[in-house]
């Protein structure tokens, strides 16, 4: 079973609207969680990192949350733009051995 | 800015051919990785290296080998390509293994006929 589950698998949103992507994980022990954005045909790029003690972190119109007790994270996109069309990948790092567990990504399509 | 450069964006090879995928990073990172990415499966780790001449198997090393002769360069080798190795291959590097951000290359899309 995958240790990082993302939902929804894909979604279509209108330009200017908000959306929220979910990441649930079972990784233990936990070190940190990163959200990456991957444009079509490009490599992923880190948006934000969340550590155990952090609840919320923003990067422009992207806001990530982390609930380490329930092992859930979300990525909220505010006032979406066409350039937000991408796959968003949740990556969780194990504490101690530095292994990474990857989610399969949320595919977001923003339409005018 | 960190730059990770993969030598080929698109390759088409025939079954049984030897394939070299090269990756170069310019930030003196110790750690380098090769992943493959397939629809519905996400990113899977093939091999990684924590130092020159060192290599560790990832989750799916079968059919692949790697070479790290210099710190900045990490090569992925398919000794005898097969059709099930058709995929997007992503190289990444990171400065610190315990918290570091992965910096990815643009990817190499390999098609094996």
Query: For A29, which DSSP code?
Result: S
Confidence of residue B40 (pLDDT cuts 50, 70, 90): confident
CB atoms within 10 A of CB A1: 4
List pLDDT tens digits, range A20-79: 999 999 998 999 999 999 999 899 999 999 998 889 999 999 999 999 999 999 999 999
CB contact under 8 A, A49 and B101: yes
pLDDT at B95: 84
pLDDT at B109: 96
Give the pLDDT mean for B20-46. 94
CA distance B23 to B7: 6
SS3 A81: coil
Cα A76 versus chain centre, distance? 9
Confidence of residue B98 (pLDDT cuts 50, 70, 90): low
CA distance B43 to A4: 12
Q: Which residues does chain B have within 8 Å of residue A90's beta carbon, measured at their own beta carbons? A: none
pLDDT at A109: 98
Return the higher-pLDDT residue of A97 and B21: B21
Tokens 């504490």, residue located: A95
What six digits make up the tokens of A38? 């991957």
- B11 close to B111: Cβ distance less than 8 angstroms: yes
CB contact under 8 A, A43 and B104: yes
Judge whether residue B2 has pLDDT over 80: no
What six digits make up the tokens of B8? 């080929």
**Which of A89-103, B31-45, B65-79, B95-109 has the weakest average pLDDT?**
B95-109
Confidence of residue A13 (pLDDT cuts 50, 70, 90): very high
pLDDT > 90: what percent of chain B? 81
- One-character DSSP codes across B65-104: EEEEEETTEEEEEESS--GGG-EEEEEEEES-TTTPPPEE
Q: Does B98 touch chain A (CB under 8 A)?
A: yes
**Which of A97-101, A107-111, B58-62 has the weakest average pLDDT?**
A97-101
The minimum CA-CA distance between B23 and chain A, rounded to whole Å, is 13
The minimum CA-CA distance between B47 and chain A, rounded to whole Å, is 12
**Which of A68-77, B14-23, B91-100 has the weakest average pLDDT?**
B91-100
What six digits make up the tokens of B99? 């918290």
CA distance A10 to A110: 11
Judge whether residue B110 has pLDDT over 90: yes
Angle A34-A36-A42 from CA coordinates, rounded to 5°: 155
Cα A18 versus chain centre, distance? 15
CB contact under 8 A, B92 and A43: yes
Stretch 24-43 of chain B: residues touching chain A, C-beta under 8 Å:
40-43
Tokens 């550590």, residue located: A51
The minimum CA-CA distance between A112 and chain B, rounded to whole Å, is 26
pLDDT at A52: 86
Judge whether residue B99 has pLDDT over 80: no
User: Which of A42, A89, A105 is opposite residue B107, by nearest beta carbon?
Assistant: A42
Query: B10, B37, B110: which to substitute to probe chain A, counting the most A Cβ within 10 Å?
Result: B37
Give the pLDDT mean for B61-78. 96
């Amino acid at each position: 079973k995958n240790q990082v589950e993302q939902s929804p698998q894909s979604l279509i949103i209108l330009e200017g609207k908000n959306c929220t992507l979910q990441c649930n994980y079972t990784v233990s022990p936990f070190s940190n969680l990163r959200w990456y954005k991957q444009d079509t045909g490009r490599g992923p790029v880190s948006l934000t990192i969340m550590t155990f003690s952090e609840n919320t972190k923003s990067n422009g119109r992207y806001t990530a949350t982390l609930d380490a007790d329930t092992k859930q994270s979300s990525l909220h996109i505010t006032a979406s733009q066409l350039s937000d069309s991408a796959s968003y990948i949740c990556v969780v790092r194990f504490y101690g051995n530095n292994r990474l567990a990857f989610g399969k990504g949320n595919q977001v399509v923003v339409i005018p | 800015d960190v730059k990770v450069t993969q030598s080929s964006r698109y390759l088409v090879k025939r079954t049984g051919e030897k394939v070299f995928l090269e990756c170069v990073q310019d930030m003196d990172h110790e750690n380098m990785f090769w992943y493959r990415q397939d629809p519905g499966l996400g990113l899977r780790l093939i091999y990684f290296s924590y130092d020159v001449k060192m290599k560790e198997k990832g989750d799916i090393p079968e059919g692949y080998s790697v070479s790290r002769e210099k710190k900045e360069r990490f090569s992925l080798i398919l000794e005898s390509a097969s059709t099930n190795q058709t995929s997007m291959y992503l190289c990444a590097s990171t400065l610190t293994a315990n918290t570091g951000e992965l910096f990815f290359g643009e990817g190499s899309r390999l098609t094996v006929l």
